[in-house]
Structure 1
């Protein structure tokens, strides 16, 4: 940067540090990935410091919307209503991804058949997108197929996952599959699709061989370790929500700070944010507002469109809406937006600026992370850093700040 203007408000995510003045509200327990790559439960109203499960890289503060896991006994797959077809389930067979509990094992029979674990009468609503996920580890079978039913999705939506290689194989329908590598040979397999009908239908977890069809001749001993099955309404899987006898809901994270008189200039400034949004999702990283949707400035990331945006609303009207391309889902981005009357600009990753010469600056009193003052959250993002500067920084400084 060519100038020496320091932020009047600077929030930097650091492992296990709670920033002064930041209020965290979440009316339930939740989970995160800790520095060891383990799934860990965090108490209600506690900030979630999250890490990449494969590398241990610190990702920052995890912010998510409320989600419900419909599956019952998500961790104990020997309990009803779980059912099997030409397969058996053994409980408490191997250490689970949380490093504390024990996961079950699905083992194929020696029959020529579809070897499957399933749960029936799960609720789907037409037009809603659903994500099915499970933690899995090879135990003689390297492939696992996740299946959403044709009765709710028009045609079968499925994907085959290579548990050993951490890759995605054949798909049916038009699902969006993902795989995330954890420690100790575990991966989290997931797929999402949009329901076309309203129905009570099953979901299946099927063992697969290297063939092109679901049915094959088993050997009676091979299978996969499974844990943490989750079915939730949403475009992508969220953090683990454990269930027992009934579906369970994780409440939304709400991260908010009241701005002091010395935190923001009333007529100009610069807002900087660093964070990430998973592929296929869009979420605000930071918003300055008066506590309502009528006066706000929002820096957001759309990982599906591959862009970042800066939106200014004053008096209930949108007075500026800028965007820049260059976002990759799951990858950390830096964005910086400058604002003054009739002078708004946005930079992403050091790129050329997007500008607007016809805007007003709203009065703001509240900073919100990973959501908006109107109450919307996520659906899922990581916030690493936020800075509020008391001046409209120059264009070159804005590019440097976002690089």
Structure 2
């Protein structure tokens, strides 16, 4: 009897649940709505939650009251990146995205500046690379992108010598800052010297412990290069991405060398002919920090910048912007920008001096003061209120100071990263936008702090 009663009751309730539009997606079980579970994005103008920050890991793509199956279904979306792009998952694995397809993983939406990989045959070490007492075996293990394209760098049996592969790149006769990266994984050899030099007698040796994925020691070759820094980050299935940054001398060449090592200083030794380590995906960029892996073949390759926005909005003041981000390599850049016209930007910008600003009509008008710098790759947030004579921002729950003599403009376009129409720009975030939300009202200071977690 009870079973028939419950069945009838749920049938009646089902009659009163409105059907979603054909292009929309109802996220979460219907039972949650019946039981009155709060919707974190109720009443928003726009709620784009790539990483499911507030929806239990389930992405949300919502414009007004309509939820869409995918980000690309959202009306007014523009995506421009005329090149492929790799983006990382939370576990460090790589996913490839075709041209003009937004690079969305469980980290969020990848938004990067344009970069050029100067190394040829970035993952074909038998071509364009010079072997020294070593060989390279193709398809030796599963790579970070889940393909069977990892290589094995093998030492030969030569004694008292180095075992490596090298590529030499021509450059201008001036001091230039470069960043080089390679994925490496321990096998019989658990140390690697990732070396940069002028291909003559000067440069740096960067030693990495592959077993612990740790940057260990830097030593000079000859006079050395200026300002050498290095880092290692653990990735999927034991892979480690090695990154080295340096400023070259005025020579006309730079050589990048993945070299086997016995420990944190020994690179010249008697090889046994069978030992080695795995490598994948080398890059050399004229930049001060690394960007995602950018594959090359017989020529250098440029990955275009991500230009992503949603237009056709009509949001008068007051309104509130909320952004969530994860920045894996540096702290800086525009998070989200609300564009009122071709000449003005409003939005949330994070500077290298560890502050979060509100930008109104291309003028920085508010910031919360110095906040504790989040660790690279650690998600954090910011929220900004745009109201006439009352603008403020909070970042990581730290509240800024009210700006009481400013007139924000209405919003017509939301940019993910820099303003797609120009105006003020703090540069690309060079990382992941985890969520971007627009509320059609002014948050209180307490609400700004809560939304900026």
Length-normalised TM-score, structure 1 = 0.86
2:420 is equivalent to residue 373 of structure 1: yes
Unpaired runs of 5+ residues, structure 2, are 1-40, 52-58, 60-68, 220-225
* Structure 1 residue matching 2:446: 3-state secondary structure: helix
Query: CA shift at 1:112, angstroms?
Result: 0.9
Check if 1:88 corresponds to 2:135: yes
Task: Say if 2:347 is the partner of 1:298.
Answer: yes
Q: Distance in 1 between matches of 2:413 and 2:250?
A: 41
Residues 386 and 77 (structure 1 numbering): CA distance in 2 closer, same or farther, change over 3 Å?
same
Instruction: Give the one of 286, 292, 310 matched to 2:336.
Output: 286
The alignment status of 1:117 with 2:165, answered yes or no, reads yes
SS in structure 1 of the partner of residue 399 of structure 2: coil
The answer to whether the 8 Å contact 2:330/2:430 transfers is no
User: 1:317, CA displacement in angstroms?
Assistant: 4.8
**Residue 267 of structure 2 is aligned to residue 214 of structure 1:** yes
Contact 1:29 1:41 in 2 (8 A): yes
213, 222, 238: which one aligns with 2:291 = 238
| 2:153 matched residue in structure 1 | 106
TM-aligned CA distance change 1:41 to 1:359, over 3 Å: same
Cα distance in structure 1, aligned partners of 2:239 and 2:79: 31
Structure 1 pair 84/379, CA: closer, same or farther in 2 (3 Å)?
A: farther
Q: Distance in 2 between matches of 1:196 and 1:211?
A: 25
Task: Indicate the residue corresponding to 1:352 in structure 2.
Answer: 399
Q: Deviation at 1:77? A: 0.3
Contact 2:94 2:145 in 1 (8 A): yes
For 1:4-403, what aligned pairs fall within 5 Å after superposition?
6-14=43-51, 17-18=70-71, 20-21=74-75, 22-34=77-89, 38-50=93-105, 58-79=106-127, 81-110=128-157, 111-123=159-171, 126=174, 128-150=176-198, 156-172=203-219, 174-197=227-250, 199-261=252-314, 264-266=315-317, 268-292=318-342, 294-302=343-351, 304-305=352-353, 307-314=354-361, 317-320=363-366, 323-328=369-374, 329-374=376-421, 378=428, 380-403=430-453
Q: How many Å apart are 1:113 and its aligned residue?
A: 1.7
Give, in angstroms, the shift of residue 390 of structure 1: 2.0
Q: Provide the rounded CA distance (Å) in 2 between the counterparts of 1:197 and 1:103.
A: 34
Query: TM-score, normalized by length of structure 2?
Result: 0.77
SS in 2 for 1:133: strand
SS of 1:290's equivalent in the other structure is strand
Supply the distance in 2 between the matched residues of 1:186 and 1:238 (Cα, whole angstroms). Answer: 17
Q: Which has the higher helix share?
A: 2
User: How far apart are 1:164 and its partner, in Å?
Assistant: 1.4
Alpha-carbon distance between aligned partners in 2 of 1:165 and 1:119, rounded to the nearest angstrom: 27
Moved segments of 4+, more than 6 Å: none
Highest CA radius of gyration, 1 or 2? 2
CA distance in 1, matches of 2:140, 2:42: 58
Q: How many residues align?
A: 386
CA–CA separation in structure 1 for the residues paired with 2:405 and 2:450: 24
Q: Aligned pair in 2 of structure 1 residues 184, 372: CA closer, same or farther (>3 Å)?
A: same
SS of the counterpart of 1:398? helix
Shift of 1:291: 4.5
| CA RMSD of superposed structures (Å) | 2.8
- Distance in structure 2 (CA, Å) of the matches to 1:338 and 1:198: 51
Mark the runs of 5 or more structure 1 residues left unpaired by the alignment: 51-57
Change (3 A) 1:291 1:196: farther
Q: 2:282, 2:142 → 1: CA distance? A: 16
